[in-house]
Chains A and B, each alone.
Chain A
Amino acid sequence: MNITELTVHELQDKLKNKELTVTEITKAYVDRINEKEKDVQAFITELTEEGMKQAEEIQKRIDAGEKVGELAGIPIGIKDIICTKGVKTTCASKMLENFISPYDATVMEKINAEEMIDLGKLNMDEFAMGGSTEYSYFKKTKNPWDLSRVPGGSSGGSAAAVAADMVPWALGTDTGGSVRQPASLCGIVGLKPTYGLISRYGVVAFASSLDQVGVFTKDVQDCAMLLNVVAGHDEKDTTSVDVGPKDYTKALQKDIKGLKIGIPKEFYGEGINPEVKASLEEAIAKYKEMGAEVEEFSLDIAKYALATYYIIACAEASSNLGRYDGDRYTYRAKDCKNLKEIYKKSRSEGFGAEVKRRIILGTYVLSSGYYDAYYKKAQKVRTLVMNEFHKAFEKYDVIVTPTSPTVAFKLGEKSNNPMEMYLADICTVSVNIAGLPGISVPCGVDKQGMPIGMQIIGNKFCEETIIKAAYAYEQQTKFREKYKPTFKNK
């Protein structure tokens, strides 16, 4: 048995049957990290030693007859944007290179309460701005399916670590697709819930009205299980919503007869790679075979949504990133004569080019003279996008699109062309703008063996519906049994 290839629910079964111990599981993952990290480069901070110690302590208690939680001793990886007490949280930026959070994010408190083992902080685009993880200050993460390609972004380290079996599951964040797109490019499951379902307290802010924590898992059952852990109202996040207790694993049902699926034809047009489109069409045919009612319709918002996204996200970022000033907990430039110089030099030296680009764009669209033409207009388009989705969900239970217009691209292919990188988000951003839940599930590979993802979008707080649709499809198609990463092109 190869321990690191198992899903978390499989690990749990083996723990219950005493086929495996917590120490054996953690040891297997630590060995795997030691073997694969040099090729994949997913971690900013490894916590393997601490993890082994924690595993041994939990195992001791189990051996002494103590009853521990169902997820106690299950390893996890955390995107380095989520604050972890006593451990560096860098946001993959020189600005926060040495920042050690004095407190845990609410999601970390939940992970720790389950006694899961955090094996490390995972790489990302600096401040979550990017779609390839190439904008990290520290390193470039590689795609386990082809090491010459990107893992997607911004949560590329999280996706690559799960795909490479270095952790069984991971947390990420999604502002415009940063969970779903890397999940798609790395052939795993990624879910971004409805805005407000998971607390943002302790998650470094990029664009506060769009940011959500999301989960990366090997299959849909694990996805429901991890969502159960991290979802829930938090008084420390005033945008968090109280939807009452829910058990998302109850949505793991195979029968989807009568499920109404809307196919927005604009998401299958220009710019979508033909192999991606063909794979999606096959998945849609499978849904019909399973008894779903599929209908094509028009949702002509993608191009407006992308422009709106970059206006709103950059505007919010320009404000949110104002706090990094060299004063209290960030990088500080040397030899500054006065406070103003500390601000300017620290920010100019501490932020990477993409972050500065977005701060400048955000400042521009908020500045007098351009506010009405860009920011205010974008806020109106946000209403339009929400209205269009609202209309669609009067007719359909879920909407199915590609997650990404292409499979994973080559390292360096888009990193010097910001506009081209932005276009990679075309299928995902509208979901954030409307605050909806979306899940990406693998639905095939292209001729070169690179994974393709299908995005299933649900109405607000209808996570159960997209989990059910994803689970039923996964059980029929068994992607994980057919394909796995090859680590080629080392």
Chain B
Amino acid sequence: MQVSKEELLHIANLAQLTLEDNEVEKYLQNLQEILNFANIVNNAPVDELDITIGANEAKNVFRKDEVKIFEDIDSLLQNAPTQEQHMFKLPKVIN
């Protein structure tokens, strides 16, 4: 499948990435090359097979829905680029 420049930019946008003008050609070429290789999966004899999601049998693992308090708030917040009053500080979301 041929990937267009517009498609690449659309995908990058979906992934919340900005590609610089001088990067676009390179990413386009890489993506095309990898997809050309990945196309081989379409030749695999798998029409009769079901999909597999994980390495082991998928089963639900239940536990009690209990609240556990993580006490060490300081060590969580020390990683925040900006914080105020023990909260993450971010630009306004709704104007």
Contact = CB atoms under 8 A, between A and B. Distances in A.
Contact of A239 (B15, B30, B56): B56
B67 interface: no
B1 A370 contact: yes
Majority secondary structure, A binding face: helix
B76 A241 contact: no
Given A343-B16, A367-B14, A384-B49, A374 B54 contact: no
Contact of B91 (A210, A318, A342, A365): A342
Contacts of B43: 304
Contacts, number: 167
Interface string A228-270: 0000000100110100000000000000000000000000000
A398 B59 CA distance: 28
Nearest to A237: B61
A325 B39 CA distance: 31
B33 A418 contact: yes
Contacts of A379: 51-53
A345 B55 contact: no
A431 B72 CA distance: 39
B69 interface: no
B12 to A, nearest CB: 6
Given A209-B53, A235-B63, A370-B1, A419 B33 contact: yes
A249 to B, nearest CB: 25
A304 B38 contact: no
B46 A364 contact: no
Contacts of A330: 79, 81
A373 interface: yes
Interface string B7-50: 01001101111110000000100110111011111111110011
A327 B88 contact: yes
A311 B76 contact: no
Contact of B75 (A102, A328, A331, A347): A102
Nearest to A241: B56
A344 B12 CA distance: 10
A5 to B, nearest CB: 37
Interface stretch (A57-65, A106-114, A352-360): A352-360
Contact of B38 (A98, A311, A367): A311
Majority secondary structure, B binding face: loop
Nearest to B56: A196
B50 A418 contact: no
Contact of B80 (A306, A328, A384): A328
Nearest to A423: B37
Contact of A360 (B15, B33, B41, B72): B15
Nearest to B59: A238
Contact of B14 (A306, A357, A363): A363
A435 B56 contact: yes
A376 interface: yes
Contacts of B70: 102
Contact of A99 (B46, B72, B79): B79
Given A241-B56, A370-B1, A435-B56, A339 B42 contact: no
Q: Closest 7 interchain pairs by CB?
A: A435-B55, A329-B79, A195-B55, A379-B51, A332-B81, A380-B46, A102-B75
30 contacts: A195-B55, A195-B56, A239-B54, A241-B56, A307-B37, A308-B41, A318-B15, A329-B79, A330-B79, A332-B82, A339-B91, A343-B16, A351-B17, A356-B27, A357-B31, A360-B11, A360-B12, A360-B27, A361-B31, A361-B35, A363-B12, A363-B15, A374-B35, A374-B41, A377-B42, A379-B51, A383-B50, A384-B44, A384-B49, A435-B54
Interface of B: 1, 3, 8, 11-12, 14-19, 27, 30-31, 33-35, 37-46, 49-56, 61, 63, 70, 72, 75-76, 78-82, 88, 90-93
